[in-house]
């Protein structure tokens, strides 16, 4: 047990929980590629029902990300990790054993609750528990794990094609591994320090009414109304714009249309090409990992936004002026460029940047709201995309994506903090000093050791 205590707050363990959370996220959302058609054939479902199956996990993730942030603030980060692990295990296995569409959707919804909570708590623990200078690199591992999870899902969809029950059940593996990490990992020192400060404030208020203002800031993080305060307007605006850039510039549309684009180019086996696209998806995430702390968040976000917007507009143009293989191959080139730009910028940076732009006393409230926004955009786009394309056409949708990209790029230029990711930006609003965090951890460790020593005493000594 002493060895487990020694590693409980190590950076590599914090990164491991983030990676497993990313795998939960990526595999659970990506495996629908290989399971949707076999389920539709078995249960003879309509297009609308197929949309419900796709969105059931996304609705769960929306609720899980929003409620999970508040739960982490009230009960701690570790309980939410346990919730993520258990819902992943139960949701994945339950979906695989489902005997009708309703059961599958309900279990996918439960799985989604864990997916959403992972997107809230895993990046948050990295932001709170690793050194400031390493947060960029370590924070990027959540997104690369998402892409790895999606890649694994695509490979399995090709290798065990048609066996949707097994595909769903295999999604329980990262949840099982996360359960073992939960058993070892320490609670966030930021949460412990806030809890300790809140207890101290309550004690002071009860003992001396003249000292009720001794810690006025420590309870702000529990009030939802804080996100509407004046100091939160700009950070929340930036966060919502980042969520818009992440979801409404077309990343899911590119994934939807990848097989069509490959077919237009004359590729006979688009499934293999889709796996190649996912490999590219993983590799380009490494760009952000290596460059985020060298070039900075702001440079990567703007460069990625400009490139993504350009790709949207060019592909929209290709759908109008080109036909056949010329349209297909031109679109393939910019499809890969778009995916590379997305993963090297907003795709990877979103998860930890939303924690960096918010003041410390409101991070646990603001981050889940922003996270819920991106899940909302994801759900809406996934459910209505194919229907909208049918009525408006492919080109129109990509013109819309390009217009959203232009809007986000301009507004982020004027509102994104120039000090984003620097020690100044990440510490200027922190209300809990590092020495207080260390003192809180030391006090808790001493209490734990005292409890262990007391439990070893004979009953007579303990009563005395």
Tell me, what's the pLDDT at 419?
72
Element (H, E) at 66: helix 47-75
Tell me, what's the pLDDT at 215?
45
Asked if residue 270 and residue 143 are part of one domain, the reply reads no
Q: CA-to-CA distance for 189 and 128, rounded, in angstroms?
A: 7
Q: Which residues of 330-354 are buried (b: 16+ CB within 10 A; e: fewer)?
A: bbbebbbbbbbbbbbbbbbbbbbbb
Tell me, what's the pLDDT at 460?
42
Q: What is the DSSP letter of 266?
A: T
If you search the block for the tokens 């073992």, which residue do you land on?
180
Tell me, what's the pLDDT at 221?
44
Q: What is the mean pLDDT of each run of 10 residues along the chain (464 residues)?
A: 71 93 94 89 87 91 90 90 96 95 96 94 89 83 92 91 94 96 90 78 56 45 70 90 92 75 78 88 88 86 95 92 86 92 92 84 82 90 77 87 95 83 48 50 56 48 36
Asked if residue 266 and residue 147 are part of one domain, the reply reads no
Asked if residue 177 and residue 256 are part of one domain, the reply reads no
**Maximum distance among all alpha carbons in the chain?**
90
Tell me, what's the pLDDT at 367?
85
Tell me, what's the pLDDT at 443?
59
The answer to whether 262 and 274 are in contact (CB under 8 A) is yes
Of 140, 165, 188, the position where a domain reaches its end is 188
Asked if residue 295 and residue 359 are part of one domain, the reply reads yes
Q: CA-to-CA distance for 419 and 430, rounded, in angstroms?
A: 15
Which of 134, 110, 147, 140 has its CA nearest to residue 122? 140
Tell me, what's the pLDDT at 461?
39
Asked if residue 376 and residue 278 are part of one domain, the reply reads yes
Phi-psi group of 162: left, alpha or beta (phi > 0 → left; psi -120 to 50 → alpha; rest → beta): left
Alpha helices in 344-393 (DSSP H): 346-356, 363-392
Residues spanned by the domain of 374: 223-444
Asked if residue 153 and residue 231 are part of one domain, the reply reads no
Q: What is the DSSP letter of 187?
A: P
Q: Indicate whether 210 belongs to any domain.
A: no
Tell me, what's the pLDDT at 426?
46
The answer to whether 187 and 108 are in contact (CB under 8 A) is no
Which of 463, 237, 462, 242 has its CA nearest to residue 352? 242
Tell me, what's the pLDDT at 132?
80
Q: Which string of DSSP letters, residue by residue, matches 144-184?
A: HHHHHHHHHHHHHHHHTTT-HHHHHHHTHHHHHHHHHHHHH
If you search the block for the tokens 């000093």, which residue do you land on?
433
Distance of CA 147 to the CA centre of its chain: 11
Q: What is the three-class DSSP state of 337?
A: helix
Q: Indicate whether 195 belongs to any domain.
A: no
Asked if residue 289 and residue 387 are part of one domain, the reply reads yes
Tell me, what's the pLDDT at 412?
87
Cβ neighbours of 241 (radius 10 Å): 21
Q: Indicate whether 459 belongs to any domain.
A: no
Q: Indicate whether 98 belongs to any domain.
A: yes
Tell me, what's the pLDDT at 211?
47
Asked if residue 25 and residue 135 are part of one domain, the reply reads yes
Asked if residue 379 and residue 238 are part of one domain, the reply reads yes
Q: Indicate whether 320 belongs to any domain.
A: yes
Asked if residue 178 and residue 303 are part of one domain, the reply reads no
Q: Which two tokens stand for residue 339?
A: 């995916």
* CATH code: domain of residue 381: 1.20.1250.20
Asked if residue 369 and residue 227 are part of one domain, the reply reads yes
What Å distances lie between residue 243 and 237, 252, 374, CA to CA?
10, 14, 5
Asked if residue 426 and residue 370 are part of one domain, the reply reads yes
- Number of domains forming the structure of the chain: 2
Q: Which two tokens stand for residue 133?
A: 């200078």
What Å distances lie between residue 275 and 152, 205, 259, 272, 429, CA to CA?
9, 60, 11, 5, 43
Q: Indicate whether 397 belongs to any domain.
A: yes
Tell me, what's the pLDDT at 84?
96
Which of 225, 252, 255 has its CA nearest to residue 361? 225
Q: Indicate whether 464 belongs to any domain.
A: no
Q: Which string of DSSP letters, residue by residue, matches 137-154?
A: HHHHHHHHHHHHHHHHHH
Query: What torsion do the CA atoms of 388, 389, 393, 396 make, to the nearest 10 degrees?
Result: 70
Q: CA-to-CA distance for 91 and 225, rounded, in angstroms?
A: 33
**pTM across the whole model:** 0.79
Phi-psi group of 100: left, alpha or beta (phi > 0 → left; psi -120 to 50 → alpha; rest → beta): beta
Cβ neighbours of 360 (radius 10 Å): 21
Element (H, E) at 271: helix 270-295
Tell me, what's the pLDDT at 54?
87
Q: Indicate whether 197 belongs to any domain.
A: no
The answer to whether 38 and 160 are in contact (CB under 8 A) is no
Tell me, what's the pLDDT at 200?
67
């Amino acid at each position: 047990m002493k060895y487990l205590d020694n590693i409980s707050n190590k950076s590599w363990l914090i990164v491991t929980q983030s990676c497993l959370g990313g795998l939960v996220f990526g595999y659970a959302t990506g495996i629908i590629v290989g399971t949707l058609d076999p389920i539709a054939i078995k249960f003879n479902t309509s297009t609308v029902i197929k949309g419900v199956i796709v969105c059931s996990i996304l609705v769960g993730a929306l609720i899980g990300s929003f409620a999970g942030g508040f739960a982490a603030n009230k009960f701690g980060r570790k309980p939410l990790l346990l919730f993520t692990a258990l819902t992943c295990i139960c949701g994945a296995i339950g979906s695989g054993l489902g005997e009708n569409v309703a059961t599958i959707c309900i279990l996918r919804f439960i799985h989604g609750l864990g997916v959403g909570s992972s997107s809230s708590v895993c990046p948050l623990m990295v932001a709170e528990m690793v050194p400031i200078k390493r947060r960029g690199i370590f924070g990027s591992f959540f997104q690369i794990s998402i892409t790895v999870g999606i890649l694994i899902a695509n490979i399995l969809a090709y290798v065990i094609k048609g066996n949707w029950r097994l595909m769903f059940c295999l999604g329980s593996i990262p949840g099982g591994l996360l359960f073992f990490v939960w058993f070892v990992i320490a609670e966030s020192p930021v949460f412990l320090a806030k809890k300790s400060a809140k207890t101290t404030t309550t004690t002071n208020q009860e003992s001396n009414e003249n000292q009720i203002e001794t810690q006025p800031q420590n309870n702000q993080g529990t009030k939802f109304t804080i996100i509407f305060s004046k100091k939160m307007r700009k950070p929340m605006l930036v966060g919502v714009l980042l969520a818009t850039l992440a979801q409404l510039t077309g990343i899911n549309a590119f994934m939807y249309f990848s097989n069509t684009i490959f077919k237009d180019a004359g590729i006979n086996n688009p499934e293999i090409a889709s796996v190649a696209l996912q490999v590219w998806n993983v590799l380009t995430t490494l760009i952000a990992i290596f460059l985020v702390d060298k070039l900075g968040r702001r440079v990567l976000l703007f460069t990625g936004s400009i490139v993504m917007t350009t790709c949207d507009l060019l592909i929209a143009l290709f759908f109008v002026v080109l036909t056949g293989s010329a349209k297909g191959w031109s679109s393939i080139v910019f499809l890969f460029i778009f995916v590379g730009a997305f993963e090297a910028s907003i795709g990877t940076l979103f998860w930890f940047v939303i924690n960096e732009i918010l003041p410390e006393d409101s991070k646990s409230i603001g981050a889940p709201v922003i996270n819920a926004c991106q899940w909302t955009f994801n759900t809406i786009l996934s459910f209505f995309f194919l229907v909208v394309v049918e009525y408006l056409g492919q080109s129109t949708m990509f013109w819309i994506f390009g217009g959203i990209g232009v809007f986000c790029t301009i507004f982020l230029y004027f509102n994104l903090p120039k000090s984003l990711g620097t020690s100044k930006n990440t510490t200027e609003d922190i209300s809990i000093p590092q020495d207080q965090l260390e003192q809180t951890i030391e006090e808790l460790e001493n209490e734990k050791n005292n409890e262990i020593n007391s439990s070893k005493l004979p009953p007579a000594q303990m009563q005395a």
